[in-house]
Amino acid sequence: MKCEHLQKTGSFKSRGALNAVQKLKDEGLATGVVTHSSGNHGQGLAWAAAQSGLRCCVAVPRNAPPSKMEAMKGYGAKLELCDATHISRVETCARLANELGFHIVEPFDDPNVICGQGTIGAEIVEQIPDADAVFLAVGGGGMASGVTSYITEVRPDIKVFLVEPEGKGLAGYLASGVLHVEHDVVDTIADGIRVLKVGENCFPILQKACSDKVITVSDDEIRSALKLIWTRTKQRVEPSAAVPLAGLLKVSPSKLGLNKVVLILCGGNVDLDFIP
């Protein structure tokens, strides 16, 4: 298990955020940064901005977990509430960037964010050289495309499996090559991957490498995997982090010819007011 829930800010998001912020600061392009997030990316960006002496503002949907809102503020971010739709998040983020003169750091479709998330793949290859597969949860696709890009370039023998919640429809989109979505979010307990559409920079990477390696899981399967992680490993992860295990449990690793599988536990920012 790749324990990203033990990472700074409690998720892998700090990797991409820090890389993006450092690039902006090195190039003298920003005095502040702004993004839209329901929690983990906002925390990661707020922390990265504080480390670099920049201000941070986050457009947050009103239905975001209160614990994640408090965490973002705790890292120094100013929050602006918006409707829980993708277009509202993007428009609020753009307005804040214009009003404040801040640079937008997209949560998953920024190339520098994608590269930062790809360091997970680099560490997996270094730390577990005999791994033959990686299972990861996919939301907007930043981490998925970053990890996939690195592994397929350096270790093409390692298979990358994408695990999605029911209702996302990624398997069909990747197979057809056409990304067409009619609503904003997926109704799932895995709040970290509720975004329906993967990023435009992420989609071609995933289509090329993973179109035949998508596993869809239900909320019940995610709950079962979450309880298994909590009780057997004693790791307090959030529902999104249990999605890869749910995918692994749904398929037969031996039938796929897999001997050593790496599960990326993407985060541990559990909303204590809602434990499924």
- Catalytic machinery residues: 13, 38
Residue 115 corresponds to which amino acid?
Answer: C
Reading phi first (left if > 0) and then psi (alpha if -120 to 50, else beta), residue 71 is in alpha
Residue 177 phi/psi, 5-degree rounding, is 80, 5
Q: How many C-alpha atoms does 55 have within 13 Å on its Cβ side? A: 10
Angle between the N-to-C axes of helices 119-127 and 142-154, in degrees from 0 to 180, rounded to the nearest 10: 50
Whether the CA torsion 101, 107, 111, 113 is positive or negative: it is positive
Q: Is 137 in a helix, a strand, or coil?
A: strand
Sheet holding 32-36, edge to edge: 78-82, 55-61, 32-36, 103-104
Q: Report the run of H or E that residue 164 belongs to, with start and end.
A: strand 159-165
